[in-house]
Amino acid sequence: KNLIMNLYGLGCDSIKKSHHNNPVDDPYYLWSGLCLNNWAVTLMDAKNCVNLNTNAKILWRSKQSGFRNLHIILKLADGTWLISDQCDGQSSDWRIREFNLSDIRWYELNIASVAEGLPVDNPDLGRVSEIGFTDLMRGGQSKACSRIDWIEVYGEAVPR
């Protein structure tokens, strides 16, 4: 009940919730296919930040088509934005991907344009305010888009 979804980038107004009756097990998901520009989606807990420094993981169920690669993005409590080098690429069906955050190299993220910047060496992930994702691209209908069904974050809650 404390979870807040935030949308960023010039293409964020076209992020859609989607679902199809066929196949029967098609989930409800967020879809970027109509985005006319770069976009990003984050989630935040209204009462807590999260410490992602030790044994932290992020899992999600997603499906990308075309050249789309879905990256993790983080907003630190000090306002710094980061994007992961690791990503989840094209697949013909839904799949679950697990990211060990200690294995990720982070880059600056310009959240206004949703574009990556320079590498950030050893960022302190002790107070992460928002966690989300982007593919750094505009949508291309169903043939070139990102879809995400759910996301799980494993870290330690830290009061805001």
* Alpha carbon distance 97, 86 (integer Å): 11
Distance of CA 21 to the CA centre of its chain: 26
Please give the average per-residue pLDDT across 128-146, as a whole number: 96
The per-residue pLDDT for 115 is: 98
CB count in 10 Å sphere of residue 97: 15
* Pick from 94, 91, 88: nearest CA to 20: 94
Q: Give percent of the chain above pLDDT 70.
A: 100
pLDDT, position 19: 77
Q: Taking the model in full, what pTM does it have?
A: 0.95
pLDDT in tens, 43-75: 999 999 999 999 999 999 999 999 999 999 999
Contact 82, 108 (CB under 8 A): yes
The pLDDT, as a whole number, for residue 20 is 78
